[in-house]
Chains A and B, each alone.
Chain A
Amino acid sequence: MDAVTELKVQTILALAGAPLLTLGAVLAAGLWSARRFPERALPGVLAAALALALAVAWGGLVGYPTTLPPIDRKLWVPALTLAVPALFALIDRSGKADRLGVVAPLAALTIIGSVTLVFAPILGGEYAPADRVGVGAALALAAWLSLDRASRALPAAPALAAVCFSALGAALASAMAGTALVGQALGGISCVAGVASIIAWRVPRLTLGAAGVAALLTPYLATVAIATLYGELPVTAAALFLLAPIGAATALFARSVVPATLLAALTAAVIAAGGVALTRQAEAAKAAQAAPAEPAIGNPTSYDQL
C-alpha cells in the first residue's frame, strides 16, 4: 500500500468508518435491549450512540486528552462530547426536559463552560475578544434552543439533517480556510448526523431528547469555534455556521417527517452555503493581497501538494 492510499484509508476510517461502526453498534445494542417495549420512545439510546460516535470521530482525527486538564485545550472536545449529554440525560430522566426554563439556563451554562475550558489561553485577548465570543455564544444558544424545540415536537430526523448540512458547510469552509484536520472533524460530525438522520427516519422510536441535542451540538459548536478562534475561519462565516442548526426549527411548519426533514435540511444548507461563500470570498481576497506583482519564477506550485 503506498503512502497516498494509506492516507485515504486512515482518514476515511477515522472520519467515517469507526464513528459509524460505533453508532451502529450502540443503536443495535439499545434496540435489542429494549425489544420488549416496541412502542416506547428511546431518547437515551440515540443520545448515547451519537455521543460515543461523535467522540470517536473527533478524537480519532484530532486526538484524545492524555492528561487532565489537557495541555492542548482542543482536546476537551471529546471529553465534553461524552460528559455534557450525560448531564442532559439526567434532565431527560427527571421529566423536566420539556421546560424551557430548565433547558435554556443549562444550555447557556454548557456553552459558557465549554468556551472557558477550550479557549482559556486566548479568551479576552486579540484572537478571542469578549464581544466576539459573546455574540458567538448567543448565536450558539439560539441554535441550541431551536434544535431542542424541534426535537421535542418532531421525530429526530429533521434535527439530525439540519446538523448534518450545517456541519458539511462548516467542514468545507474550514478546509478552505486552511484548517484541514478540524475540517475533517466537522466532516465526521456531518457524516454521523446524516446517517443517524436516515436511521431515525426509519426507526421513529429513536428520539433525540435533550441529551441527544447536547450530543450533537457540543462537538459541532466547539469545532466551529476552534476553526474560528484557533484557526482562520472568517468570523462572519462562523456566525452563520453557529446559527445554521436553527434550520431545524423550520421543520415545525411541516406536517410529516419527510417534508419536515427536507425543510430543515434545506434551511440549514442555505445558511451554511452562505458561510461557505463568505469563506471563499475571504480566501480569494487574502490570495489577491498576497499575490506577487510578477509571477515567481521557478515556483509555480501551490499548497495543493500538502
Chain B
Amino acid sequence: MKFASLGLALALTGFAAPAAAQTFAIDNSHASVLFFAKHFGFSTTAGRFNTVGGEFTIDEKDASKSSVKLEIKVDSLETNDAKRNEHLRGPDFFDVKQFPTATFQSTAVKASGDTFDVTGDLTIKGVKKSVTLKLKRNATGEDPWKNVRTGFDGELVINRNDFGVNGLPPVVGPDIKLWLSLEGIKK
C-alpha cells in the first residue's frame, strides 16, 4: 500500500514518466539563416546571418505547447561583398547600431507529422509582425557523443518594406525569402 501511494505521488509530481516537452538549445555552428533578394529582377543575391541563437521546445503529445525562440545578430550578415555587407549594416538597411538583433518568438504551433506551422512575432529593425514559419523536422537522435539532437528546415517570405528595411528600391526587390536550417542540442 505504501509503495502504491509512493508510485501515485511520483506520477503526480512528474517523476514516474518522462516529460513530453523537450527543450533544445540552438547550435550556432549548425544553424543557417539565409536570405535571398532580387537584384533589379535580374538575379537572386544570397546572404546569411552567421550568429543565430535561441531555443525550441517540442511537445510530442501536444504540439500546441511547443515553442520556438530565435535571436539573430544582424551585424553577422555576410553576402560575399565587403562593401555591400557594410551598406546592409548601415542606416539605409538594417541599421545595426540602432537595431542589433532580429528576433522570432512563436505564439502558436500546429503540427502534422513532422511538419510544423509556427506562427509568431518576427521583429526586424524594431518592427514586430506576425508571420507563419513552415518547419519540417529532418531527424532526431543521438550524435556520437550521446547528445540528443534534432534539426529542422524551413522557409518564409517577407516584404522588407513591412519592417522598414527599405533602402534602394527597386534595386533590391521587396520580397525577401528566408531559408532556415536549425539544429538543437537537448538541454
Seen from chain A, the residues whose Cβ lies within 8 Å of a Cβ on chain B are 3-4, 6-7, 10, 63, 71-74, 121-122, 127, 178-182, 226-227, 229-232, 290, 299, 301-303, 305-306
A74 touches B95 (CB 8 A): yes
Q: A71-B127, A72-B126 are in contact. Are A303 and B91 (CB under 8 A)?
A: no
Q: A178-B90, A181-B92 are in contact. Are A303 and B84 (CB under 8 A)?
A: yes
Can you give 6 A-B contacts (C-beta < 8 A)? A7-B170, A74-B95, A180-B168, A182-B91, A303-B82, A305-B39
B84 touches A179 (CB 8 A): no
Which label, helix, strand, loop or mixed, suits the secondary structure of the B interface?
loop
Other-chain contact of B97, A3, A10, A230, A303 (Cβ < 8 Å): A230
A contact residues around B167 at 8 Å (CB): 180-181
Bound-state CA distance A226–B41 (Å) is: 30
A3 touches B90 (CB 8 A): no
Bound-state CA distance A71–B124 (Å) is: 11
B80 touches A299 (CB 8 A): yes
List 9 additional contacts besides A121-B97, A179-B90, A230-B91; criterion CB under 8 Å: A4-B40, A121-B99, A178-B83, A227-B91, A231-B92, A303-B87, A306-B39, A306-B45, A306-B87
B contact residues around A10 at 8 Å (CB): 169-170
Seen from chain B, the residues whose Cβ lies within 8 Å of a Cβ on chain A are 39-42, 45, 80-84, 86-87, 90-92, 95, 97-99, 125-127, 164, 166-172
Most chain A CB neighbours (cut-off 10 Å) among B42, B84, B98, B169? B98
A contact residues around B166 at 8 Å (CB): 63
Most chain B CB neighbours (cut-off 10 Å) among A127, A178, A299, A301? A178
**CB within 8 Å: A-B pair count:** 86
B contact residues around A299 at 8 Å (CB): 80
B contact residues around A182 at 8 Å (CB): 90-92
Bound-state CA distance A226–B91 (Å) is: 8
Bound-state CA distance A72–B99 (Å) is: 9
Other-chain contact of B171, A7, A227, A302 (Cβ < 8 Å): A7
B87 touches A179 (CB 8 A): yes
Nearest residue (CB) in B for A122 is B97
Bound-state CA distance A182–B99 (Å) is: 17
Bound-state CA distance A226–B166 (Å) is: 16
Other-chain contact of A306, B164, B168, B169 (Cβ < 8 Å): B168
Bound-state CA distance A179–B83 (Å) is: 10
Other-chain contact of B125, A4, A72, A301 (Cβ < 8 Å): A72
B83 touches A303 (CB 8 A): yes
B90 touches A232 (CB 8 A): yes
A71 touches B92 (CB 8 A): no
A231 touches B91 (CB 8 A): yes
Q: A3-B40, A7-B171, A72-B126 are in contact. Are A302 and B91 (CB under 8 A)?
A: no
